[in-house]
């Protein structure tokens, strides 16, 4: 979610900003729905998976920072898959 929040701030005055705001809202709603389903089924959230997701988001954000906003940089970023 930090990556989406970052792009909301970066593009807040552009039309793309509203896309990121809506995407962030939808992701949060989906997460809450998933938590409700898990709660109803008696399934607990895995701490290991939470840490893994956090680490994956940090790596993803680093990849975006390295790629920057220059045209052509995203080609390199999309080829670097972990």
pLDDT of res. 72: 57
Categorize the per-residue pLDDT at 80 as very low, low, confident or very high, splitting at 50, 70 and 90: very low
Report pLDDT digits (tens) over 21-79. 999 999 999 999 998 999 999 998 888 888 888 888 888 777 777 776 655 555 544 55
DSSP state of 44: P
Using alpha carbons, list the distances in angstroms from residue 71 to 33, 38, 67, 76. Answer: 37, 42, 9, 11
């Amino acid at each position: 979610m930090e990556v989406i929040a970052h792009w909301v701030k970066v593009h807040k005055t552009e039309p793309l900003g509203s896309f990121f705001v809506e995407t962030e809202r939808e992701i949060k709603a989906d997460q809450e729905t998933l938590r409700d389903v898990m709660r109803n089924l008696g399934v607990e959230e895995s701490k290991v998976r939470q840490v893994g997701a956090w680490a994956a988001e940090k790596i993803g954000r680093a990849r975006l920072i390295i790629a920057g906003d220059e045209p052509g940089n995203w080609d390199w970023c999309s080829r670097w898959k972990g």
